């Protein structure tokens, strides 16, 4: 009986796979077509807006969860109705910079809005002086023990690293 069950399970599994594979082209063919219509969504304002709104919702969710605060409690603290907080958490309603500032301050958190060159990554990380020294990036002291590190595009990082390694090996530039 158990063997029969195992066989019928296997058969069902095979049917699922056969259906999944049926009438589908090799993926490399599909990828070629997708590559031809590849879109840089980070350059699409609507995508960027939706992503920022979603990431803010994620951050607020995370902080509330870590602190064990319910959305209703936050709403009470802020003197707004619960729907206002839910709109941020559910990515609905009109999200303004002012409402982001309000919720950030109510949580006693910090937020950074920066506009960077395409390919330049900005990361606000906990203080890692060693990392900054090793990779040769510039760093500036920021608020509440956080460190803002401006990371140049990858090729520049590679140049800096090879230069740093060269120095460590005793190779000095002409200058």
Please report whether residue 83 would count as binding other proteins according to CB under 8 A.
Answer: no
CA atoms within a 13 Å half-sphere pointing along the CA-CB vector of 28: 0
Backbone angles phi, psi at 111, to 5 degrees: -140, 145
124 burial class (0-12, 13-18, 19+ CB within 10 angstroms)?
middle
Residues 129 to 168 in contact with other proteins, rule: CB under 8 A: none
Nearer to other proteins, 112 or 166 (CB): 112
Q: C-beta of 44: minimal distance to other proteins in Å?
A: 7
CA–CA distance, 151 with 123 (Å, rounded to integer): 8
CB of 58 to other proteins, least distance (A): 6
What CA–CA distances, in Å, run from 166 to 25, 55, 145, 160, 163? 50, 40, 32, 10, 5
Q: Of 79, 87, 126, 125, whose CA–CA distance to 105 is shortest? A: 79
Distance CA 173, CA 175 (A): 5
113 makes contact with other proteins (CB under 8 A): no
Between 115 and 175, whose beta carbon lies closer to other proteins?
115
For residue 121, state whether it binds other proteins (rule: CB under 8 A): yes
Q: Binding mask 26-65 vs other proteins (x if CB under 8 A, - otherwise)? A: xxx-xx-xxx-xxxxxx-x-xx--xx--xx-xx--xx--x
**Location of structure tokens 């949580």:** 107
Closest approach of Cβ 149 to other proteins, in Å? 14
Positions in 4-33 near other proteins (CB under 8 A):
12-14, 16-17, 19-21, 24-28, 30-31, 33
Contact set with other proteins (CB under 8 A) = 12-14, 16-17, 19-21, 24-28, 30-31, 33-35, 37-42, 44, 46-47, 50-51, 54-55, 57-58, 61-62, 65, 89-91, 121
């Amino acid at each position: 009986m158990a063997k029969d069950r195992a066989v019928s399970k296997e058969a069902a599994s095979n049917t699922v796979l056969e259906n999944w594979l049926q009438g589908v082209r090799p993926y490399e063919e599909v990828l070629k077509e997708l590559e031809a219509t590849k879109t840089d969504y980070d350059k699409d304002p609507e995508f960027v807006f939706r992503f920022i709104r979603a990431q803010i919702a994620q951050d607020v969710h995370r902080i509330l969860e870590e602190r064990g605060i319910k959305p209703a409690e936050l709403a009470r603290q802020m003197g707004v109705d619960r729907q206002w907080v839910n709109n941020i958490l559910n990515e609905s309603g009109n999200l303004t910079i002012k409402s982001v500032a309000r919720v950030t301050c109510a949580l006693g958190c910090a937020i950074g809005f920066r506009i960077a060159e395409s390919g330049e990554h900005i990361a606000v990380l906990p203080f890692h002086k060693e990392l900054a020294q090793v990779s040769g990036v510039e760093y500036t002291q920021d608020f509440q023990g956080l460190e803002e590190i401006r990371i140049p595009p990858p090729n520049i990082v590679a140049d800096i690293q090879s230069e740093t390694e060269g120095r460590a090996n005793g190779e000095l530039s002409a200058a």
